[in-house]
């Protein structure tokens, strides 16, 4: 009986590992193509798309890094995304703390209002958002992206953080209140340290659409000095020919912040996704 049960577990483990390996190959293959082709010249990409380069060409990266435009585009994206993520986590924490403590009909309605933001794509309101940005005098500025990204990221932030805060034992907060700690003190000293896995989940989950967004910079920004990284890449696409080697070099460099952040917070991210870090 034990032997049959052990064999069954081994088969299940083998099946799950096979699925994970296949899925990993599907995910890694485009990255492999992007990276190896970024070290080739323009003709080599067409001659040998899937193989390693015969001569590793680093000039694509040096040309891109020497260009002042790339660094300006990168800095614009970095500023807009960093400020947006900080505001999403700050406002999401405050809103989630209030919703988790406030139990009633209106709190439930407000919670569902935030959830509706996860179902409604914000791009359908692009025309109204453009009018709003123009009225705020933020057109052709990276600051036009910040409120849009905050609105994009808040629903998932409230959803994740509210559920985490509700899992924290209420006895901890009640003990802090007895000791004379105020509501903001409880949030800063007790809730926030326990929310690190959830905050890492929110940050990584929102970083990808913020950093890879092309739609809103394309709608709001036409000034070269305010363009974001992916919007700046479109300059490399010509009418008759495209320098794919430089395009892939820029895309490889632009993917580094996402990969670095994930590697730094991968453990916290996994804990946040499994919701097992704050159970009392």
Average pLDDT over residues 101-117: 75
Query: With 90 as the cut, is the pLDDT of residue 277 above it?
Result: no
Domain boundaries, the chain: 67-274
Spatial separation of the C-alpha atoms in residues 16 and 193, rounded to whole Å: 34
Q: Between 111 and 60, name the one with better pLDDT.
A: 60
Q: Is the pLDDT of residue 142 over 80?
A: yes
pLDDT tier at 279, thresholds 50, 70, 90: very low
Closest to 261 measured CA to CA, from 24, 93, 78: 78
pTM for the model? 0.80
Phi (first) and psi of residue 242, to 5 degrees = -130, 135
Instruction: Give the residue-averaged pLDDT of 265-277.
Output: 59
Higher pLDDT, 106 or 89: 89
pLDDT for 276 equals 43
The percentage of the chain sitting over the pLDDT mark of 70, rounded to a whole number, equals: 87
Predicted pLDDT of residue 80: 93
Lowest mean pLDDT among 6-20, 31-45, 133-147, 160-174: 6-20
Burial of 116 (0-12, 13-18, 19+ CB in 10 A): exposed
> Model confidence at 10, in pLDDT bands (50, 70, 90)?
low
Distance (Å, rounded) from C-alpha 159 to C-alpha 251? 31
Q: Which helix (H) or strand (E) holds 140?
A: none
Give the model confidence (pLDDT) of 46-65 as tens digits.
888 888 888 888 888 888 88
Give me the chain's average pLDDT, please.
81
Express each pLDDT in 208-242 by its tens digit.
889 989 899 989 988 888 889 888 887 766 544 56
Cα 47–chain centre separation: 35
Confidence (pLDDT) at 270? 65
Predicted confidence at residue 171, as pLDDT, reads 77
- Across 3-7, 76-80, 190-194, 257-261, the highest mean pLDDT is recorded for 76-80
Q: What is the mean pLDDT of residues 14-19?
A: 80
Give the model's pLDDT for residue 71.
84
- The pLDDT of 241-247, averaged and rounded, is 75
Q: Which CATH number fits domain 67-274: 3.40.50.300, 1.10.260.30, 1.10.3720.10, 3.40.718.10?
A: 1.10.3720.10
Which token pair is 235? 């300059």
CA dihedral 135, 157, 142, 140 (to 10 degrees): -40
CA angle 112, 133, 223 (to 5 degrees): 130
Ordered alpha helix ranges (H), the chain: 2-37, 42-47, 59-66, 68-101, 105-119, 126-135, 145-167, 170-178, 183-186, 192-194, 196-211, 215-220, 229-233, 244-274
pLDDT confidence band for 84 (50 / 70 / 90): very high
């Amino acid at each position: 009986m034990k032997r049959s049960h052990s064999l069954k577990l081994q088969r299940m483990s083998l099946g799950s590992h096979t699925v994970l390996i296949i899925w990993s190959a599907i995910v890694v293959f485009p990255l492999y193509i992007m990276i190896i082709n970024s070290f080739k010249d323009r003709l080599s990409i067409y001659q040998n798309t899937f193989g390693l380069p015969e001569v590793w060409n680093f000039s694509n990266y040096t040309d891109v890094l020497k260009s002042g435009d790339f660094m300006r585009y990168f800095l614009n994206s970095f500023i807009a995304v960093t400020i947006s993520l900080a505001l999403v986590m700050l406002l999401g924490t405050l809103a989630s703390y209030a919703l988790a403590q406030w139990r009633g009909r209106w709190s439930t309605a407000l919670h569902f209002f935030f959830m509706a933001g996860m179902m409604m794509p914000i791009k359908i309101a692009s025309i109204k958002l453009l009018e709003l940005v123009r009225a705020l005098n933020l057109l052709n500025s990276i600051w036009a992206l910040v409120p849009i990204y905050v609105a994009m990221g808040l629903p998932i932030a409230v959803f994740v953080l509210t559920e985490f805060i509700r899992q924290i034992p209420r006895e901890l907060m009640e003990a802090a209140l007895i000791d004379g700690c105020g509501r903001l003190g409880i949030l800063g000293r007790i809730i926030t340290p326990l929310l690190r896995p959830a905050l890492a989940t929110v940050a990584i989950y929102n970083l990808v659409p913020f950093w890879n967004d092309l739609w809103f910079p394309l709608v709001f920004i036409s000034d070269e000095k305010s363009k974001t990284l992916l919007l700046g890449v479109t300059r490399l696409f010509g009418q008759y020919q495209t320098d794919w080697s430089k395009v892939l070099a820029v895309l490889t460099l632009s993917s580094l912040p996402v990969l670095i952040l994930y590697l730094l917070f991968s453990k916290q991210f996994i804990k946040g996704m499994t919701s097992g870090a704050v159970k009392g």
